[in-house]
Structure 1
Amino acid sequence: MSTLETGANDLVDDHPGQPSATPTATPVDLPHGTGTPPFTAVLWDLDGTIADSAPGITRSLARMFESFGLPVPSPAELVSYVGPPILDSFRLHGLDRHPGLDAAVDRYREFYRADGELADELFPGVAEIITALHAAGIPQSTATSKPEGAATRILTHFGIADRLDFITGAGGDETRGTKREVVAEALGRLRSIGADLSNVVLVGDRFYDVEGATANGVPTIYTTWGYGRIGEEVGAVAVANTPEQLRTLLGLPAA
């Protein structure tokens, strides 16, 4: 069962509530967008926006901590790892001191690739939005902090990789690791195929998405079915509580 069905806040007991939806966007004047449709291109976060990836990620993290003889964080703490660049999360929790970032990342990815990567579920209704944008001829790319190879395998597994012009993510060697860098790369790839970048929007569920998009002159629609907390929506042009609200904010007709 996905967190859209259970409610993202039910993942952990102390996960605070999400902000109420803003039904219409407040226009902004950023270099690559106004925040209101019609949009010329759409960027997508993956974890917590397209896919409910928390079960596979948190299970792999728990196995990684156990393998190094470290205490396993609480479920709430493990969920906080979902979304940010993995190096940032590991530094924040002291893994740069022991067992070291390289060892921690390698072990986590070993476990995640083995039995966590394809444990994701798509949030109901989001794939249909991606399909509708594709049918309308609107260029799309992911802009995820997940390694690009993993993102490609997940989206291919769910049959929506071909609806996206690019699957842009973090570099496997930890280059292009910040959301700002990933968004810049996604914009560059869309530019390379002649996409109109005058009114782009990013759809995401964490303040990392808002910050990374804004740094590149792109407005953000914040979605509340992911793993963010109250206050992370600050700086977004609109908030969507449901895929139906997201469809409206993207200028698509009701399903």
Structure 2
Amino acid sequence: MTSPLSTTPTTAAPPRVWSAVLFDLDGTIVDSASEIMDSLAHMFTEMGVPVPDVDTLRSYVGPPLLDSLQMTAGFTDVEAWEALNVYRDHYDQHLLRSPVFPGVEGVLQRVQAAGIPIALATSKPESMAREVLEHNGLAKYFTDIAGASEDETRSTKADVVAEALRRLQARGIDTTDAVMVGDRGYDILGAAAHDVPTILVEWGYGSPAEAGDALAVVHSADQLRSFLVG
């Protein structure tokens, strides 16, 4: 699924050598919107709620789902947890169908070859995220894989970024010049909470309004590579 994000990409060379790179997963590494939206539609049907339109369903892709079910769908806490479990049961059967975006593995290869540690920072449950990376042969590029906890106590992007940074630091890795790669405004805000800038990828699910505070917006894997390793 192609993003409507149309901010003019920044093409200047990266301002410094990055000490670590954090990657989002959905909309950044894998094109998972179709599978997520299908599982959301199934969930709403099972909950006896009319299935929202496509644009509304797409808005659920990225931010923590439990929060969205309460704030956007208007579910109570109990209903939101029931809906989340219905969603997870369905999505778990389909999550491995999502393809990797073209060129992304090459970027991961180049960043790793440059000696820059890579961590995943996703609001998807960590167990699911690891399964997706392993299925696609990408886990080998990641020093750490940080995602949401199963009980959702760690689910916001800021919390996940904090966990990814903590794990890298525990390995003795310098994170003072880390950068986030994502596709939504949630990635920018979550990383900014830890003074980490974000490069937004145009092939994801964001809108132009979400790109304003990004360090850069890139339109291709080659351009992303140039920002990360020159």
Deviations, residues 179-222 of structure 1 (Å, cap 9, x unaligned): 11100000000001111112110000001000010100111111
Q: Note the 1:15-30 alignment, pairs <5 A.
A: 16-24=4-12
**Is 2:75 aligned against 1:87?**
no
Partner deviation per Cα, 1:97-116 (whole Å, 9 max, x = no partner): 397111010000010012x2
Distance 1:80 1:235 in 2: 19
CA distance in 1, matches of 2:55, 2:73: 17
| TM-score (normalizing by structure 1) | 0.86
Task: Name segments (4+ residues, structure 1) moved above 3 Å.
Answer: none
The alignment's C-alpha RMSD in Å is 1.5
* 1:122 aligned counterpart, secondary structure: coil
| Contact 2:66–2:81 (CA under 8 A) maintained in structure 1 | no
| 2:92 pairs with one of 94, 106, 113 | 113
1:234 maps to 212
Which of the numbers 137, 152, 169 marks the counterpart of 1:174?
152
* 1:36 CA displacement: 2.5
CA positional deviation for 1:17: 4.3
Structure 2 unaligned residues grouped into runs of 5+? none
User: Given the two structures, how large is their TM-score scaled by the length of structure 2?
Assistant: 0.95
Aligned counterpart in structure 2 of residue 52 of structure 1, from 27, 31, 42 = 31
Letter of the structure 2 residue corresponding to residue 24 of structure 1: A
* Equivalent runs, 1:177-192 vs 2, <5 Å: 177-192=155-170
The answer to whether the 8 A contact 1:56-1:118 is kept is: no
Q: Is the 8 A contact 1:49 1:203 kept in 2?
A: yes
Corresponding position of 2:47: 68
Contact conserved, 2:114 with 2:229, CA < 8 A, in 1?
no
Percent sequence identity over aligned pairs: 46
Q: Secondary structure at the match of 2:210?
A: coil
* Structure 2 match to 1:199: 177
Structure 1 unaligned blocks of 5 or more? 10-15, 26-34
**Cα distance in 1, alignment partners of residues 73 and 56 from structure 2:** 13
Query: How far 1:175 moved relative to its partner?
Result: 1.2
Deviation (angstroms), 1:162: 1.3
Deviations 1:120-146 (A, max 9, x none): 110000111111111222111011000
